[in-house]
Amino acid sequence: MKTVSVIGAGTMGAGIAQVFSQIGYHVHLIDYKQENIDRALQKINANLSKLTTKKVYTEEQKEAMLKCIQPSLIYNDLLAKSSLIIECISEDIEKKKKLFKDINSHLSQDVIVATNTSSIPISGLASLLDHPERFIGMHFMNPVPVMKLVEVIRGKDTSEKTIATIVAIVEELNKAAVLVNDSPGFVANRLLFALINEAVYILQEKVASAEDIDRIMKLGMSHPMGPLQLADYIGLDVCLSILEIMYENLHQEKFKPCALLTKLVESGKLGMKNGNGFYQWNGMQIVAANY
């Protein structure tokens, strides 16, 4: 059985662990907090139960997938047994650097290491490992089990063999791999966060309400979700962090975080995760806040 280690049991890590278990990989789901692992396993179980109810899988298949996922609070011995390692910790460059320095001595001879970063240039992270040619970006989209795209990022040292292997794995997951070169935010988030930031500026300038900004993008541009609702879904703290990374690296004014976004995060309004952002979230009830 093929083995993948997923480091970080947050929303993205849980989704990645699930999709690999669905194609029969043995998955080490690693996090430093037991509560994160417990939450991830509950989410995976709920997702697979829904698919079982819809007759996509049998109960036996669901149980087999869940058994494929081995949770752990340590990684030292597990990494040496993995053919692929995917880092999914928070979007904090210093935390990622520390992790890659820590795991470097525990890697097997031919393992591929991938980062799920959505904005941090990967070549600098690759330089922390002994074999940067086997380092690559795998930017999964949220929610991972649903979204088809995986943005595959080529670092300056990434080998063609590594790229071919990862593209084949993405296709094995029944997803579409799109290969891009290393750049802050890559393609998906350079486009998306320029849009989100501009939407916040429009709201701050009182050109239109949050609800109407989102309605315009949904009805006029066929977006499934408006940019402000999407920002709430992503997490306003995450949006702010990504914009700060891109502004710092690209020095383009369009990525300078809007003051309203900064103000909301500083006041603890983080979006759907805590019920308050550009909208007020109460279960399925979503009401636009007044700014």
User: Alpha-carbon distance 216 to 20, whole Å?
Assistant: 37
Are the CB atoms for 177 and 152 separated by under 8 Å?
A: yes
Structure tokens at 97: 């650097």
* Euclidean distance between CA atoms 245 and 227, whole angstroms: 19
**pLDDT at residue 287, rounded to an integer:** 75
Output the pLDDT for position 284: 56
Catalytic residue among 28, 151, 197, 241: 151
Residue boundaries of the structural domains of the chain: 3-181, 188-284
Single-letter residue type at 281? W
CA-based R_g, the chain, Å: 19
Tens-place pLDDT, residues 78-97: 898 899 999 999 999 999 99
CB of 1 within 8 A of CB of 31?
Answer: no
pLDDT score for 1? 57
Per the residue annotation, which of 139, 197, 241, 276 is the catalytic one? 139
Whole-angstrom Cα distance, residue 258 to residue 240? 9
Choosing from 36, 47, 116, 118, the catalytic residue is: 118
Active site residue 211: no
* Residue 151 among the catalytic residues: yes
Superfamily classification of domain 3-181: NAD(P)-binding Rossmann-like Domain (3.40.50.720)
Predicted pLDDT at 77: 83
Q: What is the DSSP letter of 181?
A: E
227 in Cβ contact with 265 (< 8 Å): no
Catalytically annotated residue among 189, 197, 241, 276: 189
Dihedral of CA 82/146/119/244: which sign? negative
CATH architecture of 188-284: Orthogonal Bundle (1.10)
pLDDT at position 234: 93
Counting as low any pLDDT under 50, the low residues of the chain are none
Q: What is the pTM of this model?
A: 0.92
Token pair in block for residue 217 = 């993008």
pLDDT at 282 (0 to 100): 81
Residue 110 phi/psi, 5° resolution? Answer: -125, 20
pLDDT for the residue numbered 291 = 72
**133 catalytic residue (yes or no):** no
45 is catalytic: no
